[in-house]
Structure 1
Amino acid sequence: MSLLKIRNLGVEFPTAGGPFKAVDGVDVDVAAGEILAIVGESGSGKSVSMLATMGLLPWTATVTADELSFDGRDLRRMPPRERRNLIGADLAMIFQEPMSSLNPCFTVGFQIREALRKHTDLTREGRHKRCVELFEMVGIPDPERRLKAFPHQLSGGMNQRVMIAMALSCRPRLLIADEPTTALDVTIQAQILDLLTGLQKETGMGLILITHDMGVVAETAERVAVQYAGQKVEDQPVGDLFDHPHHPYTAALLAALPERATEKRLPTIPGVVPGQHDRPAGCLFSPRCKFADERCHTVPPPVQPPAIGQARCHYPLDVPAHAEQVSA
């Protein structure tokens, strides 16, 4: 049974020119103990999808889904009080921008203790002890002193570690990590990723890792979902995706990795991600795809079966001999 199950998730934001579709028909499945990586360039709807799951989008956003459940419980119909008890405890998130996520008016220690007070039955002394333990765990030196600091008194990397400590404080069953190592140097990045994967193995929690770093994906994830322009275009085990990408966008992403480059200049994907007013009638990647034909430009592509990586494509690449394609 999936710990998190999402079917046909859609998110729209109102704009002066009409509604903007930030997420379009995304499906997500994460089992307990599984590490799923979500990759794609900026604007592909990775963070928005997970913020919608957490219920943290602004009230102006319109969120729709055929199913949105956590551990079998329907998040769409869950009472607000029950949802508040769930978010931050069983379902937690490490946000991408720590300086805009931490409250500048309170010390970082107060903010972590507040989460512990809300979701655990620890005593005042127990909460303080847990805060020190968490700071040591994420590599913050002199935790007793740093707990008394305000966010502006800490570096960006230090605040990022505070956010990680806060997300881990209640031992969540599912952790969503949105670019958790963005502000950290390479050495600390490795330490934090080792910490997250170690805790995942130790506690059996599910982990969703949103990232642009394909090296992190290769080293950390078990399964990869690729998003483009608000849609999921491929979903495969990590080894299969790197060896046999089926969607042209996935293949183009992997071809741009420096370690795969065969020429002096790295290959690039021409064009830009479609916006609100230039979304194609057919495949959203068709204006940038070298394999696209008239059908691709006019007919929305089908989602292929798992044997073809659930590629959202009329003409998937590297199709196994035994696999049967779906036609639109």
Structure 2
Amino acid sequence: MPLLEIENLTVEFATVNGRFKAVDEVSLTCDRGEILAIVGESGSGKSVSMLALMGLLPWTAKVTADRMSFDGTDLRGLSGRQRRRIVGKNMAMIFQEPMSSLNPCFTVGFQIGEALKVHLGLDRAERRKRTIELLDLVGIPAPEARLKAFPHQLSGGMSQRVMIAMALACKPKLLIADEPTTALDVTIQAQILDLLVDLQREQGMALVLITHDMGVVAETAERVQVQYAGQKVEEQPVAGLFDDPHHPYTAALLAALPERATSRRLPSIPGVVPGQFDRPSGCLFSPRCRYTTERCRERVPHRQGAMAGFALCHYPLVQGRPIGHPAPNRIANAAEEPA
């Protein structure tokens, strides 16, 4: 039984112009001790999906799901009080923008200690000892001296290490890292990713890594879920996804990686992610897809099976060729033309 299991999660937000579907029937699972990456560009519903799981969305959000289970507990019917007993203790999250995620009015020691007090009931001396251990664990030098530091006195990398320490305070079974290297220097990004993977292995927890960086996915994850415009469009083990992507969007993302360049100009994906008022009636990727047909524009695609990476596509790719496409040779010839 998976540690985390979500089926057909949908999140809608009330706006002055009607309801906007930010997450559209997304399903995912994560096993104990597994690293799952969720990738996609901005607006794909990656963060919103996990915030819905944590119960951290505003009142304007309408969350529905056929199943939302964590460690055998159905999260859908829990009250706020019941959910708070799980969130922060058994399930924790590292948020984007570490510089703005910490409360500027309280010291580092107080903020980490608060989680220890609420969830574990530790007294002041025990909280201090455990906080020092956590700061040392995440590689902060002179941890005892940092207890009284305020967030504005820390660098971006140091702030992110504090956020990781806070998330690990109660030894969670699941850690969600939402773009953990955003706004950090390149050298610091590598250090933070290495730290997360090392801690995940040492503590045996499951890790859901939200990112738009395919290089990060290749280095850290075991399985990948690709999202586009609020929908899950593909899911594969990492090796399979990089070797043979089955959805045109995934293939386009990988083709844009510099290390995969076949000419001096990197290929790009034309257009933008559809918003509230320009969502196609058929496949949501159809306005940007090089394989689009009338069928794609008019009919919602059905989900393929595991052999095709659960691709949400009328013509899933196999070794770069769209299966069942009415004109595969024409497309193949166009792809071989020099840029």
Fold-level similarity (TM above 0.5): yes
Shift of 1:182: 2.0
Determine the structure 2 residue equivalent to 1:201: 201
Say whether residues 1:28 and 2:32 are aligned partners: no
Determine the structure 2 residue equivalent to 1:316: 316
1:138–1:192 contact (8 Å) kept in structure 2? no
1:181–1:192 contact (8 Å) kept in structure 2? yes
Determine the structure 2 residue equivalent to 1:10: 10
Determine the structure 2 residue equivalent to 1:43: 43
Encode CA deviations 1:45-87: one digit per residue, 9 max, x unaligned.
0000000000000111111111111011110112332211100
Encode CA deviations 1:78-100: one digit per residue, 9 max, x unaligned.
23322111000100000012233
- Determine the C-alpha separation between the residues in 2 that align with 1:194 and 1:152: 25
Aligned counterparts, 1:288-299, within 5 A: 288-299=288-299
The one-letter code of the counterpart of 2:116 is L
1:75–1:83 contact (8 Å) kept in structure 2? yes
- Determine the C-alpha separation between the residues in 2 that align with 1:294 and 1:303: 18
The one-letter code of the counterpart of 1:228 is Y
Encode CA deviations 1:177-219: one digit per residue, 9 max, x unaligned.
0011223333333332222222222222110000122111111
Determine the structure 2 residue equivalent to 1:234: 234
- Determine the C-alpha separation between the residues in 1 that align with 2:67 and 2:128: 39
Structure 2 gaps of 5+ residues are 325-339
Determine the structure 2 residue equivalent to 1:300: 300
Q: 1:55 to 1:233 in 2, by over 3 A?
A: same
- Determine the C-alpha separation between the residues in 2 that align with 1:190 and 1:131: 24
Shift of 1:109: 1.2
Determine the structure 1 residue equivalent to 2:138: 138
1:120–1:170 contact (8 Å) kept in structure 2? yes
Aligned counterparts, 1:104-253, within 5 A: 104-253=104-253
Determine the structure 1 residue equivalent to 2:265: 265
- Determine the C-alpha separation between the residues in 1 that align with 2:204 and 2:144: 30
Stretch deviating more after TM superposition (129-138 or 3-12):
129-138
Stretch deviating more after TM superposition (83-92 or 154-163):
154-163
Secondary structure in structure 2 of the residue aligned to 1:77: coil
- Determine the C-alpha separation between the residues in 2 that align with 1:101 and 1:182: 12
2:221–2:238 contact (8 Å) kept in structure 1? yes
Aligned counterparts, 1:88-103, within 5 A: 88-103=88-103
Using the size of structure 2 for normalisation, the TM-score is: 0.92
Structure 1 gaps of 5+ residues are none
- Determine the C-alpha separation between the residues in 1 that align with 2:76 and 2:244: 36
Q: 1:256 to 1:210 in 2, by over 3 A?
A: same
CA RMSD of aligned residues (A): 1.7
1:157–1:183 contact (8 Å) kept in structure 2? no
| Dislocated runs of 4+, deviation >6 Å | none
1:104–1:151 contact (8 Å) kept in structure 2? yes
- Determine the C-alpha separation between the residues in 1 that align with 2:104 and 2:276: 35
Stretch deviating more after TM superposition (56-65 or 79-88):
79-88
Secondary structure in structure 2 of the residue aligned to 1:69: strand
Encode CA deviations 1:21-57: one digit per residue, 9 max, x unaligned.
1100100100101100000001110000000000000
- Determine the C-alpha separation between the residues in 1 that align with 2:247 and 2:180: 27
Secondary structure in structure 2 of the residue aligned to 1:88: coil
Q: How many residues align?
A: 323
Stretch deviating more after TM superposition (194-203 or 232-241):
194-203
Encode CA deviations 1:153-172: one digit per residue, 9 max, x unaligned.
22222222211111111110
| Amino-acid identity (%) | 73
1:9–1:25 contact (8 Å) kept in structure 2? yes
- Determine the C-alpha separation between the residues in 2 that align with 1:148 and 1:167: 19
Stretch deviating more after TM superposition (55-64 or 175-184):
175-184
Say whether residues 1:287 and 2:287 are aligned partners: yes
The one-letter code of the counterpart of 2:291 is F
- Determine the C-alpha separation between the residues in 2 that align with 1:264 and 1:30: 39
Shift of 1:238: 0.1
Stretch deviating more after TM superposition (211-220 or 247-256):
211-220
1:164–1:180 contact (8 Å) kept in structure 2? no
The one-letter code of the counterpart of 2:168 is L
Shift of 1:319: 6.9
- Determine the C-alpha separation between the residues in 2 that align with 1:135 and 1:183: 21
